[in-house]
Amino acid sequence: MNIQVNTDHNIEGSAELNTYIEANLSAAFERFKVAITRIEVHLSDENGGKTSVNDKRCLLEARVSNHQPVVVSHQADTIYQAIEAASGKLLRALDNMAGKLTDHKSPKDLLVETPDDFSQE
C-alpha cells in the first residue's frame, strides 16, 4: 500500500507530518493492505492565512483493486484532528464496502435445529 501526501500552498509539508500520516494510516488500514493499492492524502487550509473554526481539511482517497476509489473528507481545527477523523470515516466506508461484497446467507436460508431432548411440561 502506497501513501501519497499532497498539501496546498497554505499547509507546510514536513518530514514529521509525512511520518505521522504514514504511520497512522498504515496501522489503521493494515487489514486492507492487500486490497488497497494507494491512499492519497490531500491537506488544505480552506481560509488561507486567516484563522477560523474548522478551516483545515483532509481528503482521503483510497484506490481499491478492481473497484472505484473511495473518497472521504473532514474539516477540523487542526490538520491532525482532520486526519484522524477522515481516516475513521474511510475505515467505516471500506468496512461497509467489504460487507457488501461478502456473500451473506439470507436468514430464511438458515436451518434452525431443535434439540432432541426438549421436553414440554
pLDDT 10s digits, 70-103: 999 999 998 999 999 999 999 999 988 888 777 6
Taking CA atoms, 43 is separated from 8, 21, 100, in Å, by 6, 11, 30
Q: Which of 74, 87, 95 is nearest to 39 (CA)?
A: 87
pLDDT of residue 19: 93
Q: How confident is the model at residue 105 (pLDDT cuts 50, 70, 90)?
A: low
Architecture of domain 2-109: 2-Layer Sandwich (3.30)
The ranges assigned to domains in the chain are: 2-109
Q: How far is CA 40 from the centre of its chain?
A: 11
Model's pTM, two decimal places? 0.76
